[in-house]
Amino acid sequence: MGVCAELAGKTMRFESPGADRIASLVFFALGAAMTYGGYAMDRLEIRQIHPASIPGLVPIILGVALMVCAVLLALQAGNDAEQTDGPPDVSWTDLFCALAFCCVYAAAMVGQMPFGVATALFVTAFSGWFLWPEAGASASVRIRVAVGVILFGIAVSAAISVLFRYAFLVRLP
């Protein structure tokens, strides 16, 4: 059990070969789409820009890497000898809350407030939803989880903002 799950008092299951197979198909399709999209981008040769500086080079590389990881995930899922008995742990509430968090972030927060603030709030709320302790947890555990997710949200937001601003030279809203 991971440290975060232990802190939150929840049991997280990671051994689901069926979910891994489905995820590998989704990731492979996403990687293939990224690779094709990167290849289909304009080459900018008309402006006498070096062919190695094509805008689609990074999506091509990331798409191929994602497809390789998807194949490795599918192979690992196929090699898992342990099959779980009974239905997997599924929480439709968690699924719809994750979807709601992502939609609110993309549609209502980004562009309406500074990117760093929106991202910090999103990451904090998202991770807080999944890591918040069960009802019987002590106050000290709740405080540690709250401080942890707030610091995590701030750190992730800062890292993303710095990466986009200085590595990718993208001005964020």
Proportion of the chain above pLDDT 70, given as a percent: 81
On whether both 102 and 169 belong to a single domain, the answer is yes
Q: What pLDDT, on the 0 to 100 scale, is given for residue 80? A: 61
Q: Is the pLDDT of residue 162 over 70?
A: yes
Measured over the CA atoms of residue 157, residue 163, residue 165 and residue 168, the dihedral's sign is negative
Does 119 share its domain with 135? yes
Q: Is residue 28's pLDDT more than 60?
A: yes
Q: 32, 57, 83 — which closes off a domain? A: 83
pLDDT tens digit string along 135-152?
Answer: 888 889 999 999 999 999
- In angstroms, the Cα distances linking 114 to 26, 118, 137, 151, 173 are 32, 6, 35, 18, 6
- Mean per-residue pLDDT of the chain: 82
Looking at the structure, do residues 67 and 105 belong to the same domain, yes or no? no
User: Residue 173 corresponds to which amino acid?
Assistant: P
Q: Which residue has the higher pLDDT, 101 or 7?
A: 101
Residue 84: what pLDDT?
52
**Is residue 75 domain-shared with residue 142, that is, in the same domain?**
no
Quote the number of domains for the chain.
2
**Residues 62 and 103 both lie in one domain:** no
End of a domain among 83, 100, 117? 83
> Do 92 and 155 reside in the same domain of the chain?
yes
Angle between helix axes 17-40 and 57-79 (nearest 10 degrees) is: 160
Of 36, 66, 83, the residue at which a domain comes to its end is: 83
In a domain, 9, yes or no: no
Range of the domain at 29: 17-83
- Do 36 and 50 fall into the same domain? yes
Give tens-digit pLDDT for 40-68: 887 777 677 776 667 788 889 999 999 99
pLDDT score of 52: 65
Considering the domain architecture, whether residues 76 and 102 belong to the same structural domain is answered as: no
Same domain (yes/no): 139, 172: yes
92-121: per-residue pLDDT in tens?
788 888 899 999 999 999 989 999 999 999
152 and 123 Cβ atoms separated by less than 8 Å:
yes
Please check whether residues 53 and 123 belong to one and the same domain: no
Structure tokens given for 171: 């001005």
Residue 136 lies in a domain: yes
